[in-house]
Amino acid sequence: MSKTPVPKGFTPVHSARFGKKGSQKLAGYEADGGYASWKKVAKGWKSGDFTPAKIIDMVKASGLRGRGGAGFPTGLKWTFVPPKEKRGGKPVYLLCNADESEPGTFKDRLIMEEDPHQLLEGMLIASAALDVKHAYIYIRGEMVRCAEVLNEAVAEAYAAGYLGKDILGSGLDIDLTVHRGAGAYICGEETALIESLEGKRGHPRIKPPFPAVSGVWDCPTVVNNVETLAAVKFILDNGPEWFKGMGRNEKNTGPKLYCVSGHVEKPGVYEAPMGIKFMDLLALCGGMKGGKKLKAVIPGGASAAILTAAEVADLPMDFDGVAAAKSMLGSAAIMVMDETTDIPKAVTNISKFFAHESCGQCTPCREGTPWLNKMLKRLIKGEGKRDDLDLLLQISNQMGNGMTICVFSDAAIAPVISGITKFRDEFEAYLSKAKAPDFALAAPAEVTPKVADRVAEGIHG
Amino acid sequence: MSKTAKVTVDGRSVDVPDNSNALEACRAAGVEVPHFCYHPGLSIVGQCRMCMVEIEGMPKIAASCTVPIRDGMVIKTDTEKAHAARNSTMEFLLINHPLDCPICDQAGECKLQDNAVTGGLPVSRTSEARRQYPGYERTDIGKHVIADMTRCIQCTRCIRFCEEITETGELSFIERGGHTIVWTHEGRALDNELSGCAADVCPVGALTTKEFRFRKRAWWLDKTRSVCTGCEVGCNIAVEHKDRVVHRFIPRVNADVNDFWICDFGRFRSEELNEQELFRPVVRGKETSWGDAQDAIKAAVDAAQKDVLVLGSAKLSTETNWLAAQLFGKHLGANVEFVVDRGDRHRVKNKKADGNVAGWLEGYEAAPNSRGAEAAGVTRGGDTGALAAVLTGTLLPKVIIVLDAAFSAKAEDPAVIAALRKAGTLIVCSRRRSALAAAADVLLPVGGVHNDEGTFVNVQGRVQRFDCAYIPPPIVRTQLEILTHLGKKWGLFDTRWTARSVFEEMRATVPGYAGLDWDSPALVGSAPSASPAAPHDVLEAPAKGGLGLPALQEVGS
Ligand SMILES: Cc1cc2nc3c(=O)[nH]c(=O)nc-3n(C[C@H](O)[C@H](O)[C@H](O)COP(=O)(O)O)c2cc1C
Ligand code: SF4
Ligand code: SF4
């Protein structure tokens, strides 16, 4: 059983079987009651005891919100798929977003590596609800082990008749394919994921049309996160009321996996009811590392605005709670920073990530992310200029709010804006350390390293 | 006409087709929203983020090309927020741009330059080193196109062109984010029938054609409406020239014919127009005056008593062919014939037009106007006919008049020249020295298609007008002038006749020309655009001005 501590009175859900011997195997999963819900659905399908509407209503009633980042109500998203008569004969696709690459996020990986069948069962139920004949798991390229475990689990599920044609005599035909990406952060954005699955470059699409209407291969498509789809299984196991019973309020419900990293005694994935207070979560992690003082927290992955120690002092870690503090729960990747952390350096590091991962379509993002990074790098090298902080903020403000196709650009600026506004004195300290010459004429021209490599390899030029 | 919707742009109300986007609606209202990646002939990607506008009811600023319009939509391009957004995009585009306009061929017709001059910030706020692209500068990426990534703004127009129009897909984004370059796939060249158009669509100087590089500053170029003479598709072009030198051909938009494109074969024939080699009439080896030359022709033709063969040409206008048919055929009883070579296939993409092959218009003839020549009353010769008979020796006219020494590749064949030479008097109109010209008794110097005006009839039966870029050099004449002068000798024509008056005269009798108007948009097509990257997109396709002549059914099937 999971050795990770949980809050008092809370029984682990997603993580219940993590670490258990043979937890990945079908036999063990079934022994622990796995696939009971799927069997119920399959059995009730012909009799009409289970209908798509019934499942969708259960998901809606549970209050489940997407665990991939935006916290969009899952049941509502499912209703955006046009009814059969309006689809013009097109199939519906379900895509599980397993691209998990938001810095600080490592929860989906655990589900897939430790208990893959909970995801498969959730996907099967969702597929039945959405009239999906073929579902895909789009998994981040680097997660080789996950893909192996998943593929084994899929093979087991086919062999057991949970997947395939006329599943358990229900008349339902569902296939499931695990597709490995090539390791680009942007492929976690749902429309980039769709493009990538189609075999194209992972470029986010302009919306509308939204995937529910026209997604992969121009067919109605639902994209959900791993944890979201796994939660569907537990909602069917225990009922929507049970799910709703966990959590802070009607809109923030269910169990939640939190990925805690940084300056805590025991970093890791912790499961708790949605809306656990930050300080309680910190306590589960054994508190601050070495008893140091808390300085700042990134509550939802690199894309989330940095919060100060004061802002998290009484913060419920759920979608609306973190949003009220002008940041976001995102993928619940909580990065804890103690008093020794150099915020400008942390922000620079994050900006490097975004400059590296921008897909390059939109001018503000393609040009803005490296510009921010170059300025920040110069700043922490002690070559900052008086106007740099204001310029950083101005550029950031030019990159968000509709200026780009996807919200990557909005994500890229959140740490910069919050870092500078909340920890301005630290940035100014770098400015006061700045060396004399105020112009960069002598700076060597930047050479795109990959391009240079290609030339060296003689591939081009 | 599809359904329309009413939208308001900066307070002006316009009706636009209901499948337009907000950028197109603005255009229809006369408001040009600055943009880069939008191209009327390519798919919408909304990547450059230049065409930002405010739309009532939408909380965020929006890229107008990505917003489908709705009835009643209110678009505002002139707000503080919209200007700020566009200025911002300009700033981002310029921080890594080399700003090498003084040595860039695109200068003067560059969308980046235009948008920077008409909007954008007056100062630069960056002090970071500009991105460099070693190995990706000034490099051949194909037979005609040179790429320089330092100038690229990643608009993907060229990529989309190769994917959607030529369907050859040579180009792609390589790398990602700020490292993104646009290049050919490894080991491939930009090699397709329309590759020059990739340089046209490029809004900046990142893709330029070798043929035009460093030839002429774009702003010096005069632009004349013309029609490509490479084949019978009849792509609309602008002949761009300065000081009596032709520098390039650029497609002119015609939604019914070539859309926004022309093929490389047609485009790079422009240099031929600069090859004028003959400047004076020559009679039996002696340079002479037009008067003497005309007297010699009249004497020979009168003496021949109808035993005359006149070769018209599918490379000449319908008007010129008509004059030849009238003068020599109708009045003097001669044989007036033309032949046309069946050449390689040339084609242009047009997804919408009634192309002869799905999505394409194809031409197989090595001349633009066989249909017009025929309609003008010149007999279509070939394996049989007068010329064929001359070549087999079964016909021996006393006089042969070749109106266009380049009428066919046959004109270079010594056996053919020898057969023509058997005529008592051989009269040849030519621009260039050639064996046929050398064999002529009377050699008349003529200009090129760019020195003339008139109409051609294309593969679809469409009558299209071409204009005169500049008149021929002193003494040199067009065939039309030669014919009006000759006609006067017999008291039939007037030397003041122009292509237009001939056109108006012949309308009554030439099939397909009835009721056509010399100045109608259907004939003239669209105006040359200021920049190849900013084609005049005719929102309304020009009315059909077709001859009603049957298109060659067997062609391309
Ligand atoms: C830049 C970017 C990266 C993203 N990466 C992921 C990811 O790795 N995994 C994920 O589940 N969602 C990711 N998302 C969110 C997805 O676009 C999408 O909202 C989500 O998969 C929907 O699932 P949910 O409704 O279950 O949360 C990302 C979004 C953006 C803009
Ligand atoms: S915002 Fe950035 S990541 Fe998103 S589509 Fe545009 S360039 Fe790509
Ligand atoms: S080369 Fe030109 S057309 Fe192609 S992406 Fe760059 S700027 Fe656009």
For the stretch A34-87, pLDDT in tens is: 999 999 999 999 999 999 999 999 999 999 999 999 999 999 999 999 999 999
Examine the pLDDT at B538 and tell me if it is beyond 60.
no
Both A330 and A347 in one domain: the answer is: no
Q: Is residue B254 part of a domain?
A: no
- R_g over Cα of chain B: 27
Of residues B73, B44, B70, B50, the one with CA closest to residue B62: B50
DSSP A175-210: EEEEEE--S-GGGGSHHHHHHHHTTS---PPPSSSP
Domain-embedded: residue A19? no
Whether residue B52 and residue A403 make contact (CB cut-off 8 A), yes or no, is: yes
Cβ–Cβ below 8 Å for B175 and A450: yes
Query: Do A451 and A431 share a structural domain?
Result: yes
Inter-chain touch A366–B45, beta carbons under 8 Å: no
Alpha-carbon dihedral angle through residues A257, A261, A266, A269, given to the nearest 10 degrees: 20
Question: How confident is residue B343, by pLDDT bands cut at 50, 70 and 90?
Answer: confident
- pLDDT at residue A47, rounded to an integer: 93
Range of the domain at A276: 255-338
What residue type is A45 in one-letter code?
W
| pLDDT band for position A435 (cuts 50, 70, 90) | low
| A110 in contact with ligand 2, CB cutoff 6 A | no
List the single residue in B60, B129, B186 with the smallest CB-CB distance to A401: B60
B553 — pLDDT class (breaks 50, 70, 90): very low
For chain B, the straight-line distance linking the first and the last C-alpha, in angstroms and rounded, comes to: 31
Q: B121 in a domain, yes or no?
A: no
A355 and A311 share one domain: no
Residue B223, Ramachandran bin (φ over 0: left; ψ between -120 and 50: alpha; else beta): beta
- Judged by DSSP in three states, A15 sits in coil
pLDDT at A433: 79
The reply to whether B419 falls in a domain is yes
Task: Check which CATH number belongs to the domain holding A192 and give it.
Answer: 3.40.50.11540
What is the per-residue burial (b if ≥16 Cβ within 10 Å, else e) of B348-384? bbbeebebbeeebbbbbbbbbbbbbbbbbbbbebeee
Q: Are residues A205 and A330 in the same domain?
A: no
Cβ of residue B149 lying under 6 Å from some atom of ligand 3: no
CA of B203 to the centre of ligand 3 (A): 7
Q: Note whether residue B81 is domain-resident.
A: yes
Q: How confident is the model at residue B374 (pLDDT cuts 50, 70, 90)?
A: very high
In short, whether B156's Cβ falls inside 6 Å of ligand 3 is: yes
Choosing from A221, A244, A267, the residue where a domain stops is A244
pLDDT digits (tens, 9 = 90+) for A360-402: 999 999 999 999 999 999 999 999 998 999 999 999 999 999 9
* Domain identity same for A84 and A218: yes
> How high is the pLDDT of residue A449?
46
Over range B422-442, report the average pLDDT: 97
Residue A7, domain member (yes or no):
no
Q: Is residue B139 part of a domain?
A: no
Domain count, chain A: 3
Query: Chain A residues with CB inside 8 Å of B49's CB?
Result: 362-364, 403-404
| DSSP annotation of B508 | T
pLDDT > 90? residue B246: yes
Kindly state whether residue A182 falls inside one of the protein's structural domains.
Answer: yes
The rounded mean pLDDT for chain B is 93
Residue A270 belongs to some domain of the structure: yes
What is the three-class DSSP state of A134? strand
| pLDDT, tens digit (0-9, with 9 covering 90-100), for A88-141 | 999 999 999 999 999 999 999 999 999 999 999 999 999 999 999 999 999 999
Question: Across B90-210, where does the E strand assignment appear?
Answer: 131-132, 139-140, 145-147, 171-174, 181-184, 207-209
Select the residue from B97, B154, B176, B180 to test the A interface by mutation, using most A Cβ atoms within 10 A: B176
Domain stops at, among B95, B114, B142? B95
For A167, which DSSP code? G
Contacts of A412 in chain B (CB under 8 A): none
Task: Give residue B120's pLDDT.
Answer: 76
* Domain boundary residue, one of B78, B95, B112: B95
> What pLDDT, on the 0 to 100 scale, is given for residue A1?
44
Residue A426 falls within a domain, yes or no?
Answer: yes
Q: What tokens were used for A38?
A: 């799927």
Judge whether B73 lies within some domain. yes
Predicted ipTM of the assembly: 0.91
3-state secondary structure of B465: strand
Among A370, A403, A405, beta carbon nearest to B177: A370
Range(s) of the domain holding residue B20: 4-95
What secondary structure letter does DSSP report for B457? Answer: E
Bond into A208 cis (ω within 30):
yes
Given this model, what pLDDT does residue A436 score?
54
Q: How far is CA A233 from CA A100, A175, B486, in A?
A: 20, 18, 95
Calculate mean pLDDT across residues A414-432.
96
Pick the closest to residue A41 from A279, A262, A235 (CA basis).
A235
Whether the CB-CB separation of B16 and B28 falls below 8 Å is answered with yes
A326 and A434 part of one domain: no
Q: Is the CB–ligand 1 distance for residue A304 below 6 Å? A: no
CA–centroid distance, A404 to ligand 2, in Å, is 6
Angle between helices A363-378 and A388-399 (to 10 degrees): 160
pLDDT tens digits, A253-282? 999 999 999 999 999 999 999 999 999 999
| Nearest CA, atom 6, ligand 3 | B152
Residue B166 lies in a domain: no
Q: Residue B80 and residue B199: Cα distance in Å, rounded?
A: 34
Structure tokens at B73: 């939509």
B281-332 pLDDT, tens digit each: 999 999 999 999 999 999 999 999 999 999 999 999 999 999 999 999 999 9
Q: Choose one of A214, A244, A274: the last residue of a domain.
A: A244
Q: B117 pLDDT band (50/70/90 cuts)?
A: confident
Q: Are residues A348 and A363 in the same domain?
A: yes
Residue A249, domain member (yes or no): no
Q: Chain B, 179-198: which have a CB under 8 Å from a chain A CB?
A: 179-181, 183, 186
CATH number at residue B36: 3.10.20.740
Helices (H), B276-341: 290-304, 318-324
Full DSSP string of B11-79: TEEEEEETT-BHHHHHHHTT-----SS--TTS-----S--SEEEETT-SS-EEGGG-B--TT-EEESSS
pLDDT above 50: residue A458: no
Pocket residue to mutate for ligand 3, from B35, B97, B138, B157, most atoms within 8 A of Cβ? B157
pLDDT at B542 exceeding the cut of 80: no
Distance CA A135, CA A157 (A): 14
pLDDT tens track for A168-201: 999 999 999 999 999 899 999 999 999 999 999 9
Amino acid at position A152, single letter: E
Is A303 in contact with A38 (CB distance < 8 Å)?
no
Domain count, chain B: 2
Are B151 and B205 within 8 A, CB to CB? Answer: yes
Helix axes B290-304, B479-489, angle to 10 degrees: 60
Same domain, yes or no: A62 and A104: yes
Extended beta strands in A307-384, E state:
307-308, 333-338
- Render pLDDT for A298-326 as a digit per residue (tens, 0 to 9): 999 999 999 999 999 999 999 999 999 99
Rounded to the nearest 10 degrees, what angle do helices A52-62 and A226-238 cross at? Answer: 100
Q: Give the pTM.
A: 0.92
pLDDT above 80 (res A18): yes
Task: Give contacts of A213 with chain B, Cβ < 8 Å.
Answer: none
Residue A306 shares a structural domain with residue A188: no
Domain assignment present for residue A461? The answer is no
* A87 close to ligand 2 (CB < 6 Angstrom): no
> What confidence tier does B356 reach under pLDDT thresholds 50, 70, 90?
low
Min Cα–Cα distance to chain B from A362, Å: 5
Strands (E) in A89-129, as ranges, are 92-98
Please say which residue of A244, A278, A300 terminates a domain.
A244
Same domain, A120 and A164: yes
Residue A9 C-alpha, separation from nearest chain B C-alpha, in angstroms: 44
Pairwise CA distance, residues A146 & B200, whole Å: 48
Q: Which of A384, A385, A388, A356 is nearest to A369 (CA)?
A: A356
CA distance B234 to chain A (A): 37
Examine the domain organization and report whether A103 and A236 are in the same domain: yes
**CA A77 – CA A223 distance, rounded (Å):** 9
Cβ(A307)–Cβ(A235) below 8 Å = no
User: Which residues are registered as beta bridge partners of A271?
Assistant: A257
Tell whether A5 is covered by a domain: no
pLDDT-derived band of residue B552, with 50, 70 and 90 as boundaries? Answer: very low
Q: B310 in a domain, yes or no?
A: yes
What are the pLDDT digits (tens) for B402-420? 999 999 999 999 999 999 9
Pair A303, A375 in one domain: no
Chain A CB contacts of B156 under 8 Å are 361
Nearest CB among A357, A362, A378 relative to B49 is that of A362
Residue B450 backbone dihedrals phi, psi, to 5 degrees:
-75, -10
For B:113-132, CB contacts with A below 8 A are 125-132
- Whether B125 sits inside 8 A of A404 (CB atoms) is no
Question: Does B171 contact ligand 3 (Cβ within 6 A)?
Answer: no
Residue B156's pLDDT band (cuts 50, 70, 90): very high
